[in-house]
Structure 1
Amino acid sequence: MTVRLVSRLLLALAATTMFLFAGPLAAERGPAPDARAALDRFVEGLETFTAEFTQTVRDETGYVLQESDGSMQLGMPNRLRWEVTEPFPQTIVSDGEDLWTYDPDLAQATVRPLGDAFDATPIAAITQPERLDEHFRMDVLPVRDASALRLLLIPRNEQADFTHLELDLTPDGDLTRMAFRDIFGQETEIHFEQSERNASVDEAAFTFDPPSGVDIYRP
């Protein structure tokens, strides 16, 4: 699996293998009321979410494989524009039906249908709030920052390609961090800054027109 940022976040849409993480803590306890309430506040009435992000990918030993920066625009349901600006430009666009991945350095674009596999991806945790309990078991993790709440989400779907997902929220429901570990042991940590809920987003952001000369692949 590539370590170039967003493929790790959303090409889980096409993955069909999963290690089912079955921690006794998550199985026996539910999330603390304050943490779950913060998540509910975040998703309640959510139509769009925009933010700048920094992402760090580490291997199973903790060694940093890649650091990258970019911006995201999320539209409900299942629409996304994720753009990496540094160090390797990359654009991922979902219009709710198809997922495009564009690598300008390679002059290549890949398009595939979202399909049901989207249900078991990290991004589904915030794009399908009405199905959170269906898709995930939830618990709370301690954090040093007293102003932060951290939820642990463990996918129920055996076809998910990540073992667990962490979401950091403020008590008033602002999403500040997302982190997950894939089935290969690599960890991806994303910090959101300058975030805004329900900002006006041009619908054109969720469409992709391949530039002239780009090779298009349809797996």
Structure 2
Amino acid sequence: MRLIRMLLVSALALSSVNAFADTKDVARLTQLLEKSQTLSARFSQLTLDGSGTQLQETTGQMQIQRPGLLRWHTDAPQEQLIVSDGKKVSLYDPDLQQVTVKALDQRLSQTPALLLSGDVSKISETFDISAKEAGDVIDFVLKPKGRDTLFDSLRLSFRRGTINDMQLIDGVGQRTNILFTGVKANEPIPASQFKFDIPKGADVIQE
């Protein structure tokens, strides 16, 4: 977030089964994402390298509103603020007094946080999706179809129909685990949360 079949008959049979499974999994993920038009939660984020060594641990607060609106605020001492208004994404680093502004293009919309608030109808165009269910937990694994991606795989985990955690694995095996707590769905979020005013004196980088 990439079987060689010996017999053509087997290939056709397997591809039909897989297509049905993919369609079913996509429909289930779509249903779970679309039922939450807004989400707010605390998060704890842990990043490990390929050997399992901890690289970084952060906490913060996230708010999303479908489609495309996001506020992702990481607590001090590694404070950062990411705000998406649906057209552009602003990343503010208070320590550097620097703001980076990027257009919300397809590659950016594939980032894990923005996936939660993105256009659900387009997810299956960009990812191969599979699901596994155990008890009240269902895990979806998303693997990008294209090569120009920010990760090799992404797991979204729902518990009793509510987003619980996600795991991102990149091309060098680095893992980022994000756990959500205090999740609130479909509660009003002020529009001001998705607007970013550039702080006075901050350097601005347009990309």
TM (normalized to structure 2)?
Answer: 0.83
Q: Distance in 1 between matches of 2:27 and 2:52?
A: 32
1:87 aligned residue: 77
Contact 2:70–2:114 (Cα < 8 Å) also in 1: no
2:87 aligned residue: 97
Distance 1:37 1:116, change over 3 A: closer
Counterparts of residues 1-219 of structure 1 (less than 5 Å): 22=2, 29=18, 30=21, 39-126=29-116, 127-141=118-132, 146-170=135-159, 172-219=160-207
Once the two structures are superposed, residues 135-176 of structure 1 have per-residue CA deviations (whole angstroms, 9 ceiling, x without a partner) of: 211123576xx4321111111122112000001112x41000
Contact 1:39–1:169 (Cα < 8 Å) also in 2: no
Name the count of aligned residue pairs. 193
Once the two structures are superposed, residues 49-77 of structure 1 have per-residue CA deviations (whole angstroms, 9 ceiling, x without a partner) of: 11110000011111110110000011111
Q: Distance in 2 between matches of 1:44 and 1:72?
A: 17
Contact 1:58–1:187 (Cα < 8 Å) also in 2: yes
Contact 1:150–1:166 (Cα < 8 Å) also in 2: yes
CA deviation after TM superposition for structure 1 residue 40, in Å: 3.5
Q: Please tell me the residue identity of whatever aligns with 2:123.
A: L
Once the two structures are superposed, residues 154-212 of structure 1 have per-residue CA deviations (whole angstroms, 9 ceiling, x without a partner) of: 11122112000001112x41000011112232111100011111111111111111111
Q: Distance in 2 between matches of 1:106 and 1:211?
A: 12
Of residues 202-211 and 127-136 in structure 1, the stretch that sits farther from structure 2 once superposed is 127-136
Q: Please tell me the residue identity of whatever aligns with 2:203.
A: D
Q: Distance in 2 between matches of 1:125 and 1:112?
A: 16
Q: Distance in 2 between matches of 1:189 and 1:31?
A: 25
Q: Distance in 1 between matches of 2:3 and 2:147?
A: 15
Which protein has the larger Cα radius of gyration, Structure 1 or Structure 2? 2
Distance 1:110 1:125, change over 3 A: closer
Q: Distance in 2 between matches of 1:81 and 1:32?
A: 31
Q: Distance in 2 between matches of 1:120 and 1:158?
A: 12
- Identical-residue share of aligned pairs (%): 31
Q: Distance in 2 between matches of 1:23 and 1:47?
A: 39
Question: Which structure exhibits the higher relative contact order, with contacts defined as CA atoms closer than 8 Å and separated by 6 or more residues?
Answer: 1
Q: Distance in 2 between matches of 1:84 and 1:123?
A: 12
CA deviation after TM superposition for structure 1 residue 215, in Å: 1.2
Contact 2:30–2:121 (Cα < 8 Å) also in 1: no
CA deviation after TM superposition for structure 1 residue 32, in Å: 10
Distance 1:177 1:133, change over 3 A: same
Partner secondary structure for residue 133 of structure 1: helix
Distance 1:137 1:158, change over 3 A: same
Partner secondary structure for residue 116 of structure 1: coil
Q: Please tell me the residue identity of whatever aligns with 1:182.
A: D
